[in-house]
Structure 1
């Protein structure tokens, strides 16, 4: 796949996760449930991860952001997991 094709795919992934985070945050502001907050935080961290993928692989290929990408993804999944555990009633 060419650089332009990769850029389009990574941008679409970034926009999708940012849209999900935004919609979840908007719903959290209306409803105020802890589970929506954990989901919104998870998608915010996944958006950060997608942004770092774009930076790492396309815009700044000389820099290695892999550990930071993994930390952002792990933080998002951990927040979601804690949200699942705390939401069980």
Structure 2
């Protein structure tokens, strides 16, 4: 019973972090904030897939998709850390 609530809170937290980072990027135009916001937005999608996988569609195996989305989020952040650092 508490699992779906925690999954939803993790999704909302990732989305909130993405929105705050995006707002910071729009104010300061620091490119690292852009890449971090994009990473957290993709992580929110990954958390949404987690809800779909474990709560909404428990018979469907979405682990490869969730892992792929998580890897994409980390690749975006690594790209930003490597190529956008001053």
What does 1:1-89 align with in structure 2 at a 5 Å threshold? Answer: 4-89=1-86
Which TM-score applies when normalising by structure 2?
0.93
Give me the TM-score of the superposition, normalised by structure 1. Answer: 0.90
- Extract unaligned runs of 5+ from structure 2: none
Provide, for residues 48-70 of structure 1, a one-character-per-residue CA deviation record: whole Å limited to 9, x for no partner.
Answer: 00000011001110111111111
Q: How many residues align?
A: 86
Structure 1: where are the runs of 5+ without partners?
none
Q: Which runs of 4+ in 1 moved over 4 A?
A: none
In structure 1, how many angstroms separate the alpha carbons of the residues matched to 2:76 and 2:83? 11
Determine the C-alpha separation between the residues in 1 that align with 2:56 and 2:85.
Answer: 42
Could you say what secondary structure the match of 1:62 adopts?
coil
